[in-house]
Amino acid sequence: MLKGTPASIVAPAVQQPFLEDQLVKSFMRFSQRTNWNTEESDLARAHRLRAASGQPIADLTASNPTRCGFAFDPALLAALSNPQALDYDPQPRGLLTARQAVCAYYASHSVALNSEQILLTTSTSEAYSFLFRLLCDPGDEILAVQPSYPLFDFLATLDDIKIKPAALVYDHGWQIDPEGLRRAITPKTRSIVLVHPNNPTGHFTKRWEAEELARLCREYNLSLIVDEVFFDYSFGAPGASFGKANASFAAGLEGVPVFVVSGLSKIAGLPQMKAAWILATGPEAAAALDRLEVIADTFLSMNAPVQWALPSWLEGRQSIQQQISQRTVANLAELDLQLASLPEVTRLEVEGGWYAVLRIPALQPDEQTVLALLERGVWVHPGYFFGMADSGWLVVSLLAPEAEFSCGVTILMDYFIHCKQLEILNLFDTIDYDPTYDSKKVRQLEQIENEL
């Protein structure tokens, strides 16, 4: 987005009627699909100004592993020097050696695949766009399980389709709501999109949820698109997915067309290398891949050096994965340690991924809370960035260096402690003007203030 504005906080533009007699006329007629408000948002502006001032910012939104202090193999770039990359050999599905490396990755997760089931893309965003074009005509709908990426709305708009949200529910852990999905299905619905584990909730899809999804897909003739970019990052929740740890949708669901998207961005911590893939399984997978091949052949966006390097990078993924896992586990423990002293702020259950969702007092819109926290030196996501309500939710990344993360959480905690103190003072002001206020309540408030 323009000037670094997060996609989630770009407001839709207000359409103005075209006036023949207007004094200033545009020489360019833009499409409605790009009719976004590209002005810098209040949050983006505040962050830019604080960063420009040189004041410290503990970044608890970090999602780029290349800037989080991890140690990458110094020989990593050597894989780009393969002389075979000097030969231009366009392969719409991707080079066979690269696709075989993707199959080897899934074999390590006990899923046997054929290289013909794989099609390479430059990113999961491109993979989504290819799949939207494969499955949908203009005006069709995709159901997206939310909270999730704000990216989906932009991709759908660019491909002339619509995203309909279907909420995850929280009851002693996140859960898919099958009836909510059923209510959202219309004759224009073509597919269901979910992230496994979900971003930002960290919810792994359970066996019963997968069975319900399969039942809906068969009943309404839908396909299932599953994003597994965070798949290798689990906090070891018992029975996290499909009744066992780390079960991939690449194994398929009976009678359901399943498309799995993933890539190097998270699996190997290499977002800058731009390599991802689509994996197809289930009914008519071969026909789907034939059509995807034509789409890919139209763009031929994959470059040769990255494709030749992909097997080496996938094979060496364990080092960065271990570092990321150790970091996220340590930061999650630090978050829980600090939250223990302030019950008004709670962390929701998380099973995997790089993020944690916080339930905060809904005293004001989350955007105001985020701005107030930024003024104190910590940068966090408002919950609505991921499709949550406008107040009561914050999302923090667990990827930041441990010292920076601890500092940021401390600032966050101090802010909410301060808010609690102000709330108590306001209650005492009410007592001063209300002589009938219950004296027992006064003593309870005094006890709370003493504990602070």
Query: Quick one: 131 and 240 in the same domain?
Result: yes
Query: Quick one: 418 and 308 in the same domain?
Result: no
Could you tell me the CATH number of the domain that includes residue 341? 3.90.1150.10
Number of Cβ within a 10 Å radius of residue 7:
14
Calculate helix-pair angle for 366-376, 402-433, nearest 10 degrees: 120
Q: Is the Cβ–Cβ distance between 129 and 155 less than 8 Å?
A: yes
Could you tell me the CATH number of the domain that includes residue 127? 3.40.640.10
Query: Quick one: 247 and 133 in the same domain?
Result: yes
273: its two tokens: 């290398």
3-state DSSP helix/strand/coil % of the chain, to nearest 5 = 45, 15, 40
Nearest of 239, 238, 146, 203 to residue 355 by alpha carbon: 203
Note the pLDDT tens digit of each residue in 92-125: 999 999 999 999 999 999 999 999 999 999 999 9
Query: Quick one: 264 and 333 in the same domain?
Result: no
Query: Quick one: 190 and 159 in the same domain?
Result: yes
Report CA 337 to chain centroid distance, whole Å. 25
pLDDT at 284: 96
159: domain range?
A: 76-315
Domain assignment present for residue 385? The answer is yes
Query: Quick one: 64 and 91 in the same domain?
Result: no
Domain boundary among 315, 347, 377: 315
Query: Quick one: 325 and 296 in the same domain?
Result: no
Domain boundary among 285, 315, 345: 315
Q: Is the Cβ–Cβ distance between 273 and 306 less than 8 Å?
A: yes
Which residue ranges of the chain lie beneath pLDDT 70? Answer: 1-26, 237-246, 423-452
Query: Quick one: 226 and 174 in the same domain?
Result: yes
DSSP state of 276: E
Domain assignment present for residue 41? The answer is no
pLDDT at 372: 96
Domain assignment present for residue 47? The answer is no
Q: What angle do CA 210, 193, 331 make, to 5 degrees?
A: 85
420: its two tokens: 């609690």
Domain count, the chain: 2
Query: Quick one: 102 and 208 in the same domain?
Result: yes
Count how many residues are written for the chain: 452
- Where helices occur in 119-275 by DSSP H, the ranges are 124-135, 151-158, 178-184, 207-220, 264-267
Domain assignment present for residue 261? The answer is yes
Note the pLDDT tens digit of each residue in 436-451: 444 544 454 455 445 4
Q: Which amino acid is at 146?
A: Q
3-state SS of 371-395 is HHHHHHCEECEEHHHHCCCCCCEEE
**With left for phi above 0 and alpha for psi between -120 and 50, is residue 392 left, alpha or beta?**
left
Q: Is the Cβ–Cβ distance between 58 and 404 less than 8 Å?
A: yes
Domain assignment present for residue 28? The answer is no
Domain assignment present for residue 451? The answer is no
pLDDT at 421: 78
Query: Quick one: 369 and 390 in the same domain?
Result: yes
Query: Quick one: 357 and 414 in the same domain?
Result: yes
pLDDT at 443: 53
What is d(CA 212, CA 82) in angstroms, rounded to the nearest whole number? Answer: 46
CB neighbour list of residue 90: distance below 8 Å, 6 or more residues apart:
297, 300
Query: Quick one: 340 and 438 in the same domain?
Result: yes
User: Three-state DSSP class for 358?
Assistant: strand
pLDDT at 310: 98
Domain boundary among 261, 284, 315: 315
Domain assignment present for residue 207? The answer is yes
H or E element in which residue 174 lies: strand 174-176
Domain assignment present for residue 1? The answer is no
Q: Which amino acid is at 194?
A: L
